[in-house]
């Protein structure tokens, strides 16, 4: 049983899998919805916090990597900038998990001038809200189909 929760933790920590995928999968697998939500929240938040704390080094590495590949801004990055310009850090943080991913949202928010403290606060709120939404909706929906 611990193995399944370890997979939930790792999946939530990996960018592009994150809570939107692993919470529904964990609940559909028959794991406890509350434990899935808790483990997924911790897994996703841990890597987002590591990104925020190590932002300066990560930004330098990412910029060099993109320049080496000769890539222009991705569609996700462009979408994030549009969200930032319209809604600021709260909007980017709250819409990030469903549109661009939590890690990209935190990175772009900080790139555009958000402080580490504000980014952390808004990402905790966002990941917490979306963890509840994905967990509750999946649990209720799954119960609806199995009843």
For 93-101, the CB contacts below 8 A with 24+ separation are 93/119, 93/122, 93/123, 93/125, 93/126, 94/122, 94/125, 94/126, 94/129, 96/126, 97/18, 97/19, 97/20, 97/126, 97/127, 97/130, 98/20, 98/130, 100/76, 101/15, 101/16, 101/18, 101/76
CA distance 53 to 55: 6
> What's residue 80's pLDDT?
77
Query: Which pLDDT score, from 0 to 100, does residue 62 have?
Result: 77
Q: What is the pTM of this model?
A: 0.81
- The encoded tokens of residue 24 equal 């529904």
Answer yes or no: is pLDDT of 79 > 90: no
Q: d(Cα 80, Cα 8) in Å, to the nearest integer?
A: 26
Q: Which of 16-20, 30-34, 128-132 has the lowest mean pLDDT?
A: 16-20
Helix axes 33-53, 2-13, angle to 10 degrees: 40
Q: Which domain holds residue 130?
A: 2-146
pLDDT band of residue 67 (cuts 50, 70, 90) is confident
The CA distance from 121 to 26, in Å, is 26
Provide the pLDDT confidence category of residue 6 given band limits of 50, 70 and 90: very high
Report which of 51, 42, 36 is spatially closest to residue 128, judged by C-alpha positions. Answer: 42
Number of folded domains in the chain? 1
pLDDT of residue 129: 96
pLDDT of residue 146: 57
């Amino acid at each position: 049983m611990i193995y399944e929760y370890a997979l939930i933790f790792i999946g939530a920590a990996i960018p592009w899998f994150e809570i939107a995928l692993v919470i529904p999968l964990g609940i559909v697998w028959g794991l406890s919805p509350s434990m899935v939500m808790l483990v997924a929240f911790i897994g996703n938040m841990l890597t987002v916090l590591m990104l925020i704390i190590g932002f300066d080094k990560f930004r330098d590495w990412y910029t060099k990597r993109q320049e080496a590949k000769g890539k222009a801004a991705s569609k996700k990055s462009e979408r994030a900038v549009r969200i930032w310009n319209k809604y600021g850090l709260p909007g980017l943080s709250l819409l990030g998990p469903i549109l661009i991913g939590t890690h990209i949202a935190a990175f772009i928010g900080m790139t555009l001038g958000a402080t580490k403290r504000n980014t952390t606060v808004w990402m905790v709120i966002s990941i917490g809200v979306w963890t509840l939404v994905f967990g509750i909706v999946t649990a209720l929906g799954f119960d609806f189909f199995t009843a």
